[in-house]
Amino acid sequence: MEPPRRNARLAARLARIIRRLARSNAVTEHHEQLFANGLVASSEGTEISLSNRQLCGVDRFGEPLEAYSVSALPALAALIGRTASLTALDLSRNRLGDAGALVVAAAIEAHCRLRRVNLAANAIGCEGRRALAGALLRSGSVTSANLLRNHWDEASAAALAAVAAQRAGLRSLCGLGLTEQTLALEHEGLEPHDAHLLAADYRSHGSLTALHLYDNRLGAAGLGVLAAAMAASGTVSLLDLSSNLLGGADDPARLVFVPCAAGTAALAAALAGATALRSLVLYDNALGPKGGALLAAALRRENSLTLLDLRLNQLCGIDAFGNGEFTCEAVRSLANALDANETLSWLRLEHNAVPRHAAGWMRDAARRRPGLRVSL
């Protein structure tokens, strides 16, 4: 996916500017002051690390420390240009916007030894995304980029994921190193569009075995995207999706949670293809009775799960405040599914308001299956 020619020409011009600044050492007194405040001090050899430095005058939450400004970007370009053997560039959590993304896109094309780029949480929009996509596609060196938590829509995120599919050497869009096996992204505020980047890593990163995504906002839409990657197998054996609103999505207009089983349905269908997956943690996702029934049907089919964690999911239709319509059908379906399942060794159902008689169904099923543990 090539970006428009205008962006390609701009990236090339920025690359020339960086090289010219490096040759002439054209850094003003203002730039020197910026370096003294952290730009140069953070550069160690072949790496530049300037994470969360408010380079454009706003913090990572978008709160202004001063007026938003791109005045630091020429200094940043000069610093990048002077680091001849640059191999890693971390500018995460700076809200650089599209202008900063264009500078980094130029750096990606100018530095043939650059391996890792971190631009997470930088408020990059569609223009910056197009420039980065083109640079990553043409780069022969970058193997890992972190582009999570930026301001693009699902179509833009899907387009970036397509770049990873086209360029075999680009192994991660979530910042994972070539040999790293665990990706931990708890409490990161990930949104549904970030699921496209996670799915790209799920598919293409050959070493990834554990994915921890506790306490994000992927929702039913994000789960659907991730499930499509799971269906193609992969190497992930542990997937933690706790507290991700998987049973629906928030409606900001009405300030309510809207149930939706589409994501759970996609997940249930994908389990048969996820042959490496052993542990699936879905704690606190408001899956509800319908979600429980869908997962029960998945347990009846061939899969590789040994642990399924469904704690705090309103499986009986009652939330933590006692609201909802009570039903035991999901618990009954899960109990019946255990008779057909041959792989599961631990099913966790705590905090689901399971009544005594329904708990008896689960205990009877566990007794019929030696080695199976059911926690209620």
Quick: pLDDT tens for 51-97: 887 777 655 555 555 556 777 788 788 778 777 778 889 999 988 89
For the cut 60, the answer to whether the pLDDT of residue 255 exceeds it is no
Same domain, 355 and 213: yes
Kindly indicate the confidence band of residue 26, based on its pLDDT and cuts at 50, 70 and 90.
very low
For the cut 80, the answer to whether the pLDDT of residue 148 exceeds it is yes
How would DSSP label each residue in 212-255?
E--S---HHHHHHHHHHHHTT--S--EEE--SS-TTEEEETTTT
Same domain, 140 and 234: no
Question: What's this model's pTM, rounded to 2 decimal places?
Answer: 0.84
Give Cα separations from 250 to 120, 139, 256, 265 (angstroms).
Answer: 24, 39, 6, 19
Range of the domain at 109: 1-177
Q: What's the pLDDT at 257? A: 56
Letter string b/e over residues 154-174, b meaning 16 or more CB atoms within 10 A of that residue's CB: bebbbbbbebbeebeebbbbb
Same domain, 100 and 73: yes
Same domain, 188 and 117: no
Residue at a domain's end among 153, 177, 201: 177
Same domain, 36 and 89: yes
For the cut 60, the answer to whether the pLDDT of residue 45 exceeds it is no
Q: What's the pLDDT at 249? A: 64
Q: Count of domains in the chain?
A: 2
Taking alpha carbons only, the member of 112, 165, 107, 154 closest to residue 132 is 107
Same domain, 71 and 160: yes
Residue at a domain's end among 114, 142, 177: 177
The CATH number of the domain holding residue 348 is 3.80.10.10
Same domain, 162 and 21: yes
Same domain, 169 and 183: no
Same domain, 357 and 230: yes
Residue type, 281: V
Same domain, 203 and 227: yes
Q: Which residue has the higher pLDDT, 275 or 311?
A: 311
Same domain, 1 and 124: yes
Same domain, 339 and 247: yes
3-class secondary structure, 48: strand
For the cut 50, the answer to whether the pLDDT of residue 258 exceeds it is yes
Q: What's the pLDDT at 191? A: 93
Q: What's the pLDDT at 367? A: 92
Residue at a domain's end among 177, 197, 231: 177
- pLDDT digits over 347-360, tens only? 999 999 999 999 99
Residues paired with residue 249 on neighbouring β-strands, in sequence order = 258
Kindly indicate the confidence band of residue 47, based on its pLDDT and cuts at 50, 70 and 90.
confident
For the cut 50, the answer to whether the pLDDT of residue 169 exceeds it is yes
